[in-house]
Amino acid sequence: MADEFSTVLDDPENPFLRERLAGHFTGSAWLVSADGQRVLLTHHRKLDRWLQLGGHADGERDLAQVALKEAEEESGLTALVLEDGELFDIDKHWIPERTDVPGHWHYDARYVVRALGSEQFAISEESLALAWRDIRDVANAAIETPDGDDSLPRMAKRWLAR
């Protein structure tokens, strides 16, 4: 998959803009609690699935900063820190067609973000719900709803193996 990301990166049409409908980059946060035992997930309003927080780059080339910004905006949490700035996971996933936007690919770069302050979140307009989930439960695909993303258990297992 890394080769595919590299190919997109080399494309003359800017892959950091959502207008590139052949596919574009997004940045996501594996947002963990201060003790590293739980992850904050969103029940995404448009996709109706449980996912990690994240969003479009909208021209920003530093996807770690995109992940941090999206985590702050979508959770309402303050005192979030980018854990080490290293890429934690990558994923390519299909976004289905919506009224005025054709279906397209997201090339998602994921980074660890840690909540050091209060864990009292605020649900943004992009979410139906937010919930702290035990990472061990996510790794075992034992999250409460069956509509979670397949990459969540993969990331949880990666986190637990650190």
Domain boundaries, the chain: 2-132
* pLDDT, tens digit, 9 for 90 and up, residues 11-67: 889 999 999 998 999 999 999 999 999 999 999 998 888 999 999 999 999 999 999
Query: Which phi and psi angles does 154 have, rounded to 5°?
Result: -60, -45
Instruction: Choose between 74 and 2: higher pLDDT.
Output: 74
Tally of helices (H runs) and strands (E runs) in the chain: 4, 7
Class in CATH terms, 2-132? alpha beta
Q: Which pLDDT score, from 0 to 100, does residue 9 have?
A: 87
Give the residue carrying structure tokens 């994923």.
91
Compute CA distances 136 → 49, 148, 151, 159, whole Å: 19, 15, 14, 10
Q: What is the dihedral of CA 126, 123, 68, 36, to 10 degrees?
A: -130
pTM value?
0.92
